[in-house]
Chains A and B, each alone.
Chain A
Amino acid sequence: GAVVSQHPSWVICKSGTSVKIECRSLDFQATTMFWYRQFPKQSLMLMATSNEGSKATYEQGVEKDKFLINHASLTLSTLTVTSAHPEDSSFYICSASVPGMGGETQYFGPGTRLLVL
Chain B
Amino acid sequence: AQKITQTQPGMFVQEKEAVTLDCTYDTSDPSYGLFWYKQPSSGEMIFLIYQGSYDQQNATEGRYSLNFQKARKSANLVISASQLGDSAMYFCAMSRGSGNTGKLIFGQGTTLQVKP
Give me the interface of A with B, judged by CB distance under 8 Å.
Answer: 32, 34, 42-46, 49, 91, 93, 95, 97, 102-111, 113
Nearest B-chain residue to A111, judged by Cβ: B43
Chain A: interface secondary structure?
strand
Counting CB contacts under 8 A, is B7 at the interface?
no
Please tell me the number of chain B residues within 8 Å of chain A, measured between CB atoms. 23
Partner of B52, one of A93, A104, A111: A104
A113–B44 Cα gap in the complex (Å)? 11
Q: What number of residue pairs across chains A and B have CB atoms under 8 A from each other?
A: 58
B103: chain A residues at CB < 8 Å are 34, 46, 49
Give 16 pairs: A residue, B residue, CB < 8 Å, sorted on A. Answer: A34-B102, A43-B91, A43-B109, A44-B91, A44-B104, A46-B103, A49-B103, A93-B45, A105-B47, A105-B50, A107-B47, A108-B37, A108-B44, A108-B45, A111-B43, A113-B43
* A106 contacts B102, C-beta separation under 8 Å: yes
* B45 contacts A104, C-beta separation under 8 Å: no
Please provide the chain B residues from 48 to 70 with a CB less than 8 Å away from any CB of chain A in the complex.
50, 52
Counting CB contacts under 8 A, is B100 at the interface?
yes
* A102 contacts B100, C-beta separation under 8 Å: yes
Partner of B50, one of A46, A95, A104, A109: A104
A111–B42 Cα gap in the complex (Å)? 9
